[in-house]
Copies of this chain bind each other. A is one copy, B any other.
Amino acid sequence: METHLNRLILLMYCPDQKGIIASVTNFIHQHNGNITYIDQYVDRSRDAFFMRMIVEGTSITNDFKTFKNSFVSELGKSFQLKCNFYQEGKIPKMGVFTSKYDHCLYDILTQQRSGKLKCKIPFIISNHIDLEGIALQFDIPFYHIPVTKQNKKVAEEKQLEILKQYEVDFIVLARYMQIVSSKLIDLYPSKIINIHHSFLPAFPGARPYHSAFNRGVKIIGATSHYVTEELDAGPIIEQDITRVSHEHEVADLIDKGQDLERIVLLRGLKLHCDRKIMVYNNKTVVFN
């Protein structure tokens, strides 16, 4: 669970074909690398091959660029390989968007502070002032950017400016109660993580706990997912549920659900920070 600067995480994707595993493992072996982790998945219906590896070896990590280039030139072309390389010690920067609910924000900040969520949090953006005290408490810059029908575009420009200024790698919508624009989604593809307070695809959109209460379900859920153009329809990262009964009123569902939300969002964020997710065909491949 420690973070190693001299370990490399490789996420690969290519059309499925004979010999791909042998070729890749061979290549690394020849470069004096040691594979400490390998996991692969083949989507047979689409003949797609996915692999995640962790590689150790000073000859590789000391000259990371050379390794990367020769990997791409030797294997990339012949296998039509798409590959992402991450140095394990390089911790990503996460921009936080939030509104009025504090439970997800609190969990993000305390888990990050405890070292369990391995990212940097350069700022918090909120369309409400309510949570400024928490930002202060954790000594993180807080940007209050109200969003109204009238100022939507201007507000978004401000958001984008801040995101650029801090050079964030990805964004979390920690119960951010606004629909983000196509522009933002395009700039951060598979890099905006939202928590939806239902077991998607059940109860998309607003007020899912009310809908769940009205439908009389016996189980409620929460879903963390990447944001795409279509509302609440992006690739699902993680879901979990809890049992409810007729005795639980809407307020109880909200209460129980908020515990789910923070757990499910944090699991999603950790998977993303640990480079364990590949997105493909509006679904996630999670190497866990």
**B-binding residues in A (CB < 8 A):** 1, 18-19, 21-22, 25-26, 28-29, 34-45, 102-103, 106-107, 110, 113-114, 116, 137-138, 199-203, 215-219, 221, 235-241, 243, 245-247, 249, 251-252, 255, 258-259, 263, 266, 282-286, 288
One complex includes copies of this chain to the number of 4
Residues of B within 8 A of A282 (CB): 216
Residues of B within 8 A of A203 (CB): 201
Q: Pick the residue among B25, B138, B237 that contacts A25 (CB under 8 A).
A: B25
17 intermolecular pairs with C-beta atoms under 8 Å apart: A1-B249, A1-B255, A22-B35, A25-B25, A43-B246, A44-B249, A102-B110, A216-B236, A217-B236, A218-B236, A218-B239, A219-B221, A219-B241, A241-B241, A246-B285, A246-B286, A259-B266
Q: Is the CB of A286 within 8 A of B245?
A: yes
Q: Is the CB of B246 within 8 A of A216?
A: no
Residues of B within 8 A of A202 (CB): 199-202
Which of A41, A202, A255 has the most chain B CB within a 10 Å cutoff? A202
* Residue in B closest to A51 when the chains form the complex, CB atoms: B38
CB distance from A38 to the nearest CB of B (A): 6
Residues of B within 8 A of A110 (CB): 102-103, 106-107, 110
CB distance from A202 to the nearest CB of B (A): 4
